[in-house]
Amino acid sequence: MFEQEITQYEEVRHEYESRIKAKMAPEDYMDWHEILFSCHSCAIEGNSFTVDDTRILKEQGLAMVPVGHSLLECAEMADHFRAFRYVVSHLNAPFDETLLRETNRLVTENTLAFRAPGAVAGEYTTEDMAAGDTIFGDHETLVARVPSLLTSTAEALQRDIHPMIVAARFHGFFEYLHPFRDGNGRTGRLLSNWILMHAGHPMVIIDIKERDAYIDALRQIRGEGTDEYLISFFFRVAVERMQNELTQKKRNTNLGLFLF
């Protein structure tokens, strides 16, 4: 299963890594992805920052609050920057509860008090959860399954399973467990990308335009008990993003031939 998706992904990935990633300074490449990923991941949760707003905040910090945005949105984005840097700097760490809880702590550090007064960033929920049109299961039962999910994911990384499949499966079941009071989506997307980067693969950035398709794929896990839709979604958005960036680079390279 997924042989066709894997073949297409690997063909595009090798071109992407040779034509884009390998030709950029590593720090510049990560800064670029930090801005894009933070912007779109927070936008999925309702943040209104654009890519340009995110870049300004990243470069100038809270001293320059983009026009039209609340301090809460700025704090959420700044928290995401710190969580991103933590994940990137711990790609050789064990995939365990320490990594998970610290990621969530950083993601929600300066916003949780506004959204869930009394909750502690990085601590599991002590109440049952609901989001959108979904009521999650008994929180004690779901939280108790988190260590098993982390262990099975770490074991899958040692087996002959494509990293994109591991990342998507982890993400789907993590969101199903929904173990924190806030930041489950951002935390899950960060750790799915930890899986990919740990394996030497490019990040998956889910564009805000894909939000409805993304939510529908997650619903299939709860509704039909299958993660096939989410895995296919991960492969598709990964391939399309790499193809779009390759096309953009070719276009901008060729454009330069006609300007001078």
Active site residue 178: yes
Backbone angles phi, psi at 238, to 5 degrees: -65, -45
Q: Which of 33, 40, 80, 178 is catalytic?
A: 178
The pLDDT value given to residue 61: 76
- Domains in the chain (CATH in brackets) are 3-248 (1.10.3290.10)
DSSP 8-state assignment for residue 61 = G
Cα angle: 37, vertex 42, 47; to 5 degrees: 135
> Burial, 102: exposed, middle or buried (Cβ in 10 Å; 0-12, 13-18, 19+)?
middle
- How many other CB atoms sit within 10 Å of the CB of residue 246? 15
Which ranges of the chain have pLDDT less than 70?
62-67, 256-260
The pLDDT value given to residue 64: 63
Its pTM stands at: 0.95
The pLDDT value given to residue 80: 98
The pLDDT value given to residue 92: 97
Which of 83, 40, 20 has its CA nearest to residue 214?
40
The pLDDT value given to residue 257: 57
The pLDDT value given to residue 259: 52
